[in-house]
Amino acid sequence: MPTCTLHALPYRADPTPWFERIRHAYGAVLLDSGRPTAVRGRFDILSAWPSALFEPARNESGRDFFQRLRQALHDLGPAELPDNCELPFTGGLIGLLSYDFGARLETLPQHARDDNSLPLARLGLYEWALITDHQRQTSQLLFHPACAPVDRERLIRLFEATTPAAAPPFRLHGRFTADISRDAYRRSIERIQAYIQAGDCYQVNYTQRFRATCSGDAWSAYKALREVCPTPFAGFVALDDGAIVSLSPERFLRLERGLVETRPIKGTRPRGHDEQSDALQAQALLASDKDRAENLMIVDLLRNDLGRSCRIGSVRVPQLFALESYPNVHHLVSCVTGELAADHDAFDLLAGSFPGGSITGAPKIRAMQIIDELEPTRRSIYCGSLLYIDVRGEMDSSIAIRTLLVRDEQVSCWGGGGIVADSDWQAEYQESIDKVSVLMRTLEGL
């Protein structure tokens, strides 16, 4: 089988100096594990100048779009890694799925207003990547066999050159404001709880959006946010007229050598102001019957989603109700695994599971119908995914929470949470702010 070529570069724990060389390039994308501060991620992947860019056609179903992506990987051609190499990507697709792409996979209403006009999905086909392995402390250019020698030489020169000048600053022209009032939020929670009492659903993830006007370079915003909120599933996606800035702590789906893993987050507490209060917040989260019940609902939903694509009897829950702590919040995290069925691939797995159950509710389809009814605008990238799928069929993906969209001189971010029968609307309102407060405060302080 054809083999990828590697070119060693000096190891960097922080990928941002590498990415600054290509941040203005067509199709520039960074998948960032948040090192050296965040410790759960192993790899950073960055690339640019895709050989093709894919977006769904106007009336194209999600499964038909996925078939086009399968064909693109087939056309790029197979490639394996050199011996004793453990890199996660051998060339292939990198990009995004918006939350609203879910309506191309299931029959769902779309009444919410679309005022961001982000493509439902956007994935580039990349013949090269710069990949940093923090476990082995290596940074390497990886070239798929299809990458032309002249392009390889150009990229080597580019990344061996001196670091470019710093990016222009990013500024807000006012504070973030919510799209809906506290009273409108309360009425939506009451409506969700009426649906729960009527037996329509068990849990609905309800979200509010915050916006501010802005100017400057979104890359400077990303670097500032990365400093204060490093996370293992962060990313930056350059758009033609803006950027996606993501500081996500949550894995959606990983597929590695036929093994599937998803790590849903459900359950949140703000960090304390000192060591003692912080420990009390963590203990309260771990002991919360409500948060554990919400988490378990989503674990059951994801077991069902994975069961669509995994070998019968292989779905397991090796971790339940673990504590993960980030600069602004504590989270309750579980892990669901399975073995991919022999006749399924990464696209089947996505088709059976997207969007992630941790950000919809249960049952998923009814929860998504209620979300569309009650949230005034489409979620866009929020609760979608940043992901890669390589020519071997390997995949990793995030849930795009703690994620901002910068375009048309406006920055948008979203915060939400799972609503159940005994939710207190005021506590849920505050939690939706707590989850993104560090992002908003940081940008307001630039």
CATH code of 247's domain: 3.60.120.10
Q: What was the pLDDT predicted at 232?
A: 96
Cα separation, 417 vs 431, in Å, equals 7
321-365 residue pLDDT tens:
999 998 889 999 999 999 999 999 999 999 999 999 999 999 999
> Whole-number mean pLDDT of the chain?
96
> By percentage, how much of the chain surpasses pLDDT 90?
94
Q: What was the pLDDT predicted at 89?
A: 99
175-207 residue pLDDT tens:
999 999 999 999 999 999 999 999 999 999 999
54-71 residue pLDDT tens:
999 999 999 999 999 999
Q: What was the pLDDT predicted at 328?
A: 85
375-426 residue pLDDT tens:
999 999 999 999 999 999 999 999 999 999 999 999 999 999 999 999 999 9
Q: What was the pLDDT predicted at 401?
A: 97
CA angle 58, 63, 69 (to 5 degrees): 85
22-53 residue pLDDT tens:
999 999 999 999 988 777 899 999 999 999 99
Q: What's the whole-model pTM score?
A: 0.97
E-only strand ranges, 98-222 = 121-126, 128-133, 138-143, 170-172, 177-178, 203-216
Residue 290 a catalytic site member: no
**Mean pLDDT on 152-180:** 94
Looking at residue 167, the DSSP 8-state letter turns out to be P
Q: How confident is the model at residue 166 (pLDDT cuts 50, 70, 90)?
A: confident
Do the beta carbons of residue 383 and residue 399 sit within 8 Å? Answer: yes
Summarize the chain as % helix, strand, coil (round to 5).
30, 30, 35
Structural domain total, the chain:
1
Catalytic option among 60, 86, 190, 266: 266
Query: 276: which 2 tokens?
Result: 């003692």
Catalytic option among 20, 160, 190, 250: 250
Cα separation, 80 vs 90, in Å, equals 7
Q: Which domain holds residue 321?
A: 5-444
Q: What was the pLDDT predicted at 327?
A: 83
Looking at residue 121, the DSSP 8-state letter turns out to be E
Q: What was the pLDDT predicted at 164?
A: 79
Cα separation, 379 vs 208, in Å, equals 9
**Mean pLDDT on 91-116:** 95
- Whether 168 has a pLDDT exceeding 90, the answer reads yes
- Whether 83 has a pLDDT exceeding 80, the answer reads yes
Cα separation, 209 vs 378, in Å, equals 10
**Mean pLDDT on 111-137:** 96
Cα separation, 97 vs 118, in Å, equals 10
Residue 266 a catalytic site member: yes
Q: What was the pLDDT predicted at 39?
A: 75
